[in-house]
Amino acid sequence: MTTELWGIDFSSAPTRRKPIVVARGRLAGAVLRLQRVEMLTTQAAFEALLIEPGPWLGAFDFPFGLPRIFVETLQLGERAAEVIHELQRRCPTRMDFRALVDAWGNKRPAGQRLVHRATDATWPGISSTSPLQTRYVPVGFMYYEGFSRLIASGAHLPGLHEGDERRVALEGYPGLLAHELIGRRSYKNDESSERLLARKQIVEALEQGRTRLGLRLKLTPAQAGDLVADAAGDKLDAVLCLVQAAWATGQPRHGQSAVVDAVEGWITTA
């Protein structure tokens, strides 16, 4: 049985308007075929996804760890699973988590509050959002809601948490692959013709295999049009994560970094 591949654009508070988007695909040689895109409107639906029998490998667009300096200062634990368990013990709600982050950050110098992990800045010219950010783009809430459910599901997180090796979860970062294709140009959260063109260029590059990952994305015309038309960019982000998952499935140790920080985690393809 071939491994099903997933790319997940996560929402910490999914609704019909802002769902969790799941792109499912299969890899044959260097060709990745997008099978379908699904919308999950509740966390319960996400939990059900995570316990689907394998073999599957998914790249999830949320942090699998927190900055080591934050974890060590607050004595949250020495491994990613310990950290999320202790964090949720101290912070029963995500707003409690925000309060904890704010209290810690307010004691630090300006500009040193929303610190990053080492893996957030491993690719020249681009850095992912700090996992301590709970406003604007609430990546911290995505960590709080998403990572806790991954651990609870019993999935295997290479380098971070032993689990069912037929269900493998990796941290993806769609912005990394998008940056390779169109640089710093924005491609989502806007109806403008400029961003529509950027999405179109990303889709065309993926179909033609013009990335360092060496894979070609196979889409129907309807699928390609749907990805380009989605002004939010969530469907395209899920597909970008899917491509990262496809690359990882063909790599030794799933493309894991030579050295993995057991607290901070690592981003696939970074």
Whether residue 254 is contained in a domain is answered as no
Instruction: Tell me how many domains the chain contains.
Output: 2
Range of the domain at 173: 4-63+169-249
pLDDT band at 172 (very low <50, low <70, confident <90, very high): very high
| Residue 153, in any domain of the structure | no
Instruction: Name residue, tokens 């049009």.
Output: 225
Regarding whether 120 and 240 lie in a shared domain, the answer is no
Q: What is the pLDDT of residue 126?
A: 84
At 37, is the secondary structure helix, strand, or coil?
Answer: strand
* Final residue in a domain of this structure, among 96, 116, 147: 147
C-alpha–C-alpha distance, residues 209 and 30, integer Å: 9
Tell me: do 210 and 93 sit in the same domain: no
Q: End-to-end CA distance of the chain, in Å?
A: 28
The first and second tokens of residue 91, run together, are 């912070």
245 plus 173 within the same structural domain:
yes
Q: What's the pLDDT score for residue 167?
A: 98
Q: Check pLDDT > 80 for residue 1.
A: no
Output b/e per residue, 70-94; b: 16+ Cβ within 10 A.
Answer: bbeebebbeebbbbbeebbeebeeb
pLDDT tens digits, residue range 109-120? 988 899 999 999
What pTM was computed for the model?
Answer: 0.96
